[in-house]
Amino acid sequence: MAILALHGGAGGDGEWRGMSDLDPDRLVCMQTILNDLGPRLESGDLTALEAVTLAVEALEDEPLYNAGRGSVLAEDERIYMDASIMRGEDQAAGSVVNVERMRHPIRAANLLLKKGWPVMLNAGAADQFAHTNQLEHVDQTWLKTDLRTAQWNKWKSQNSRPGSTDEDDSAVLDHDLDSEEQEGMGTVGAVALDAHGHLAAATSTGGMTGKPVGRIGDTPIIGAGTWCDQTVAVSCTGVGEAFIRTCAAHELAVQFRQPDTSLLEASHRVLEMVNPMGGRGGLIAVSADGQVVMPFQTMLMYRGLWHNGALTTGIGEEIYSE
């Protein structure tokens, strides 16, 4: 048995209004990743750790997701990216915070995990660590896309709260500032169970449009945005501050340890704890006994699942089979 689940961020209020013009490309990206990595995970060619790293790297490369190239812009119009990763067998972890110059923040987090010390590196030191270890360096102009610049301009002119325009595709398709806003974030994540029964989780993000310089969300914080132990792997998405205040990803593991609690029950309990703190969002989780869940409280959560050879994707409530 092998399972690979992906998310591409949760967001939006109200009823799902159907796909935007950009959504099919977002789903194709997930399908390509799952078709490539799913069979390799199943056959034992890939560990869970490598599968989640490769999956998140591919999502970081897709400019329509808010991670790596295509990350959202902070208040000063620059990109600051966060990523973290964790392995279940030994709870080894790696995390980079507010990095500005690397193509794949998740690979730097993976390398920190493998080196074993320290677990987290910040900003310039993390960029330097990546450089020293021959990870690909890129500049801000390569990371920035027209979509994110348009969203930032819209955020700036409307003086909105941070994050309010993150998945508003109309910012690039239609510059009408009165058009309906979709709140969303577009962070990416992956959780996997490999053929040896091992688990891993990874999460990567540019954060929220207009975030203050120096802000750290939940994504690079082990136990908040990402958690993995021998029983469960978790990757979260949503307003990070609420996921930090509830230690959401770790809380799922705590809830799942309670007697007679399914992974679905545990995940709903966690989202119910996060919600009152202003942190509507979603998560993906897989357990060592083969349960997989992808709940969300927002209008949408981009998601994809490879489960024993079957590939499905979704954005709103409905699920698409390949």
Active-site residue set: 187
Nearer of residues 38 and 281 to ligand ASP, judged by Cβ: 281
Residue among 41 and 59 whose Cβ is closer to ligand ASP:
59
Please tell me whether residue 299 binds ligand ASP under the rule CB under 6 A: no
Nearest-approach distance from CB 303 to ligand ASP, in angstroms: 13
Among 186, 210, 223, 304, binds ligand ASP (CB under 6 A): 186
Which one of 51, 55, 79, 185 is in contact with ligand ASP (CB under 6 A)? 185
Measured from the CB atom, the residue of 44 and 212 that comes closer to ligand ASP is: 212
Exactly one of 95, 145, 164, 205 binds ligand ASP (CB under 6 A); which one?
205
CB 240 to ligand ASP: min, Å: 2
Examine residue 68 and tell whether it contacts ligand ASP (CB under 6 A). Answer: no
Tell me if 282 contacts ligand ASP by CB under 6 A: no
CB atoms closer than 10 angstroms to residue 204: 34
Q: Which of 187, 204, 312, 313 binds ligand ASP (CB under 6 A)?
A: 187
Q: State the nearest-atom distance from the C-beta of 9 to ligand ASP, in Å.
A: 5
How many residues lie near ligand ASP (CB under 6 A)? 15
CA distance 49 to 89: 10
Shortest distance (Å) from residue 264 CB to ligand ASP: 21
Residue nearer to ligand ASP on the CB measure, 187 or 312: 187
* Residue span 214-253 as binding mask against ligand ASP, x where in contact by CB under 6 A, dash where not: ---xxx-----x-----------xxxx-------------
Asked if 304 touches ligand ASP (CB under 6 A), the answer is no
CA-closest candidate to residue 32, choices 318, 308, 306: 306
Nearest to 166 by CA among 319, 284, 268, 300: 300
Among 102, 143, 191, 208, binds ligand ASP (CB under 6 A): 208
Q: How far is the CB of 218 from ligand ASP (least distance, A)?
A: 5
User: Based on CB atoms, which residue is closest to ligand ASP, 47 or 246?
Assistant: 246
By CB under 6 A, tell whether 151 contacts ligand ASP.
no
3-state secondary structure the chain: CCEEEEEEEEECCCCCCCCCCCHHHHHHHHHHHHHHHHHHHHHCCCCHHHHHHHHHHHHHHCCCCCCCCCCCCCCCCCCCEEEEEEECCCCCEEEEEEECCECCHHHHHHHHHHHCCCCEEEHHHHHHHHHHCCCCECCHHHHCCHHHHHHHHHHHHHCCCCCCCCCCCHHHHCCCCCCCCCCECCCEEEEEECCCCCEEEEEEECCCCCCCCCCCCCCCCECCCEEECCCEEEEEEECHHHHHHCCHHHHHHHHHCCCCCCHHHHHHHHHHHHHHHCCCEEEEEEECCCCEECCECCCEEEEEEEECCEEEEECCCCEEEC
Nearer to ligand ASP, 41 or 64 (CB): 64
Q: Is 207 in the site for ligand ASP (CB under 6 A)?
A: yes
Which positions from 13 through 32 interact with ligand ASP, judged by CB under 6 A? none
The Cα 150–Cα 168 span in angstroms is: 10
d(CA 48, CA 71): 25
Interacting residue ranges for ligand ASP, rule: CB under 6 A: 9, 185-187, 205, 207-208, 217-219, 225, 237-240
